[in-house]
């Protein structure tokens, strides 16, 4: 973690979490609680990841996935219930494009794995049959996955949720001008000391390192997804990590997903062109 303790200048704090590089910047003014703010944000993010990652067997999501098809109900607290209900609302809102139960498809098209051949129609159909948030059984205080092989992955909106939570923690510590960036999922409020707004560069996926556009924001957030980093190539064709649950295959069209989250935890927009 790196920091700058001078009041009135932009302070930057970096750490690794959620499978990506995390950073938040803020302008510390009179009455802001810098040390407590930094510790609170990092502590919350680490706790959130330990609870909701699918990559740890001992996490809540790991235990839910491991129990799929067993009939066992997994107890959940109010925070987890709120997040899972948000997952259901987002799936409904986006017509199934953003489906947190699509883990069987993510496993099938895992961009980290070696693909000597592509999944055939039968394998895609089998994974699709295990996908669909309406299959998830969610009740007050408990959840279960009724079929073996089902699974939950919150990667579609988990970082945006975490960014919003971090922003709220910073605000509660008396900071009114800040930028939170968790793996290019960004939330801002106010402005830096030398500009009228925060400027967010959106990288050009066809020319990495160059900007496609620059957004000026004072209160809001933006997140984009692309296929130029997390992908695999087979027979000269690129297959990205963005899966369309409707087809069961990686999306082959341009995706612009400014998933703006506010304290209501609702998604303002999710569009596929």
Residue 251's pLDDT is what?
80
**What is the overall mean pLDDT for the chain?**
85
Mean pLDDT of all residues in 51-60: 97
Which residues have C-beta within 8 Å of that of residue 78, sequence separation ≥ 6?
A: none
Question: What are the pLDDT digits (tens) for 8-49?
Answer: 688 899 999 998 999 999 987 766 678 899 999 999 999 999
Can you tell me the distance from the alpha carbon of 18 to that of 50, in angstroms, rounded to the nearest whole number? 9
Local confidence band at 180 (pLDDT 50, 70, 90 cut-offs) = very high
Nearest to 200 by CA among 211, 11, 262, 270: 211
User: What is the C-alpha end-to-end distance of the chain, expressed in Å?
Assistant: 38
Residue 116's pLDDT is what?
77
Radius of gyration of the chain (CA): 20
The more confident residue out of 109 and 152 is: 152
Percent of the chain with pLDDT over 70: 84
Local confidence band at 228 (pLDDT 50, 70, 90 cut-offs) = low
The more confident residue out of 230 and 92 is: 92
């Amino acid at each position: 973690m790196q920091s700058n303790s001078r009041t009135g200048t932009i302070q930057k704090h970096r750490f690794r979490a959620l499978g990506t590089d995390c950073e938040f910047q803020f302008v510390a003014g009179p009455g802001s609680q810098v040390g407590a703010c930094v510790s609170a944000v990092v502590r919350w993010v680490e706790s959130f990841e330990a609870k909701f990652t699918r990559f740890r067997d001992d996490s809540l999501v790991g235990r839910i996935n491991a129990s799929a098809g067993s009939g066992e109900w997994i107890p959940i607290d109010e925070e987890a219930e709120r997040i899972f209900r948000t997952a259901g609302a987002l799936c409904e809102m986006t017509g199934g494009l953003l489906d947190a139960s699509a883990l069987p498809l993510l496993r099938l098209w895992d961009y980290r794995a070696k693909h000597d051949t592509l999944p055939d129609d039968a394998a895609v159909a089998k994974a699709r049959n295990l996908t669909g948030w309406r299959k998830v059984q969610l009740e007050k205080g408990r959840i279960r996955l009724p079929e073996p092989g089902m699974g939950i992955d919150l990667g579609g909106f988990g970082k945006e949720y975490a960014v919003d939570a971090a922003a709220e923690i910073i605000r509660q510590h008396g900071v009114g001008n800040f930028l939170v960036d968790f793996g290019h999922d960004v939330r801002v409020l106010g402005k830096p000391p030398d500009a009228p707004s925060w400027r967010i560069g959106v990288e050009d996926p066809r020319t990495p390192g160059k900007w496609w556009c620059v957004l000026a924001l004072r209160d809001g957030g933006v997140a984009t997804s692309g296929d130029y980093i997390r992908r695999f190539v087979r027979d000269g064709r690129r297959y990205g990590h963005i899966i369309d649950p409707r087809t069961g295959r990686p999306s082959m069209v341009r995706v612009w997903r400014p998933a703006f989250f506010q304290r209501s935890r609702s998604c303002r927009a999710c569009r596929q062109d």
